Amino acid sequence: MIELHGYGPLLADGAWLTLRVAFASVALGLVFGLLGATAKLSRSVFLRGAATAYTAIVRGLPELLLLLIIFYGGSLLVQSVWQELGGESYIEINPFVAGTFTLAFVFGAYATEVFRGAILAVPKGQVEAAYAVGMTRLQMFRRVMLPQVWRFALPGLGNLWLVLLKDTSLISVINLNELMYAARAGAGKTHEPFTFFATAALIYLAFTIVSMVVLQYSERRAQRGVRMG
Amino acid sequence: MEFDFQLMVDSIPALLKGMGMTAQLVALALALGLCLAVPLALARTSKNPILWMPVYGFIFVFRGTPILVQIFLVYYGLGQSETVRESFLWPFFKEAYWCAIFTFTLNTSAYTAEILRGAIKAVPHGELEAARALGLSRLLVLRRITVPRAFRLALPAYGNEIILMLKASALASTITLLDLTGVARVIVARTFAPYELFVIAALMYLALTLIIVRTLKYTEWRLSPHLRPPPQVN
């Protein structure tokens, strides 16, 4: 068994925070992705341009740099607004908020492409048929679009989730006490870095394995009723 | 809030030096990683479990854990072991630079091996049969058909891997290396001007990404003359 010198609970708390950051980011990131895909498929030149700039810039920058920009830049912005209002103390934005926002921003940029492809993959005739049998826009979206977009998008979103799960470790750089930060703390206190980082690696690996099992199940579920050639 | 343009201009030389370090890390890791990925991919596609199972485990571990954990495990973790500290490898693992190269190489080789595996499986069966029918030895089939064909098929996916490697290289800054992100972080810590520094660093990364994307597009175009429409003759 691995000897953690009483730092096991610290790692467990960190792992729990890692999961919370990941779930919060994926929820917000899906919203960004849907908005991005809608903008990319819209008729407005301005919206299309904005969405293209969003995906091109975010996908070309290191996640770590983006995190630092949002954390330090955001803190400075909040602080300058605060000083304008007459405040004096030093303000730093919450690392959980900055981290979640960054990961969601990155997830959203990649998810934009995934959703765009999935929406385009729904045959146009089915949409026309839905309207022809008298469905309202909402009914059409709920019964025809959504189940199919979900099915087409799921493999892509699953990969993005696995990437996001691993990227949560970056937030330790701005001192959020998630799993990686806890491992660093344990490593520093006990002078046994290998033990702690290897344990963290195993926990991340376990998260990945569980995610893969759930994703495989969901993909199979989303495909029920589809005839395979 | 105002922008300090003077600071921006003054930090460009230092940032360019960091960009050089980033380019060096990425180029070296990619080159070494590719050399490692070819035998790994071949072992991964083998039917012999003694060959494919350990490679599968290697790929799974490197793709399933954050690269930040990997780099810390190498840089901070390996020194914990007495055996490593007393071995001839210690001068090598003592240096942050070589730790970064080592980690990035293994990481990219795992991803690249998986990409190549897909490409090897996608090489048309008929071409392999034709080669064998001509009496080519197994090694010759590998060298003349499988590997070159797989490389061409893997190119688009490998292009993505190059960009991911460029982005992952920013993690070198967490183990004290002065790559592009590292230089920007050091100057920000001194001047507390995050906007100015990070914005230029971001632009430099985007420039590198653009160069990579363009080069890849051109390479793909060069390698597919048989797919281009014939030149118009009036």
CA-closest candidate to residue A142, choices A157, A152, A130, A133: A130
Per-residue pLDDT at A229: 57
As a whole number of angstroms, the distance between CA A170 and CA A176 comes to: 9
DSSP secondary structure letters along chain B: ----HHHHHHHHHHHHHHHHHHHHHHHHHHHHHHHHHHHHHHHHH-S-HHHHHHHHHHHHHHHHS-HHHHHHIIIIIGGG-HHHHHSTTHHHHTSHHHHHHHHHHHHHHHHHHHHHHHHHHHS-HHHHHHHHHTT--HHHHIIIIIHHHHHHHHHHHHHHHHHHHHHHGGGGGGGT--SHHHHHHHHHHHH--HHHHHHHHHHHHHHHHHHHHHHHHHHHHHT-GGGSPPPP--
Segment B43-96, tens digit of pLDDT: 999 999 999 999 999 999 999 999 999 999 999 998 888 888 888 888 888 899
Per-residue pLDDT at A228: 67
Whether chain B has a CB inside 8 Å of the CB on A221: the answer is no
CA-closest candidate to residue A62, choices B182, B190, B65: B182
Interface test with B, best of A55, A72, A161, A199 (most B CBs within 10 A): A72
**Chain A residues near residue B188 by CB distance under 8 angstroms:** 68, 72
CA-closest candidate to residue A115, choices A162, A177, A172, A160: A160
Yes or no, beta carbons of B205 and A167 under 8 Å apart: no
Q: Enter the ipTM.
A: 0.89
Angstrom distances, CA of residue A186 to CA of A166, A179, A181, A228: 20, 10, 9, 51
Nearest to B76 among A72, A167, A193 (CB): A193
CA-closest candidate to residue B117, choices B63, B176, B190, B175: B63
Report B:76-115 residues touching A (Cβ under 8 A).
76-81
Counting as low any pLDDT under 50, the low residues of chain A are none
As a whole number of angstroms, the distance between CA B21 and CA B202 comes to: 15
Per-residue pLDDT at A152: 93
Mean pLDDT on B143-167: 92
Q: What is the rounded average pLDDT for all residues in chain B?
A: 92
Query: Residue B199: pLDDT above 70?
Result: yes
Contact in structure between A212 and A192 (CB atoms under 8 Å): no
Whether chain A has a CB inside 8 Å of the CB on B163: the answer is yes
Per-residue pLDDT at B177: 95
| Tokens standing for residue A146 | 């959504």
Whether chain B has a CB inside 8 Å of the CB on A227: the answer is no
Nearest to B65 among A61, A195, A204 (CB): A204
Tally Cβ neighbours within 10 Å of residue B175: 18
Radius of gyration of chain A (CA): 21
3-state secondary structure of A134: coil
**Chain A nearest C-alpha distance from B61 (Å):** 7
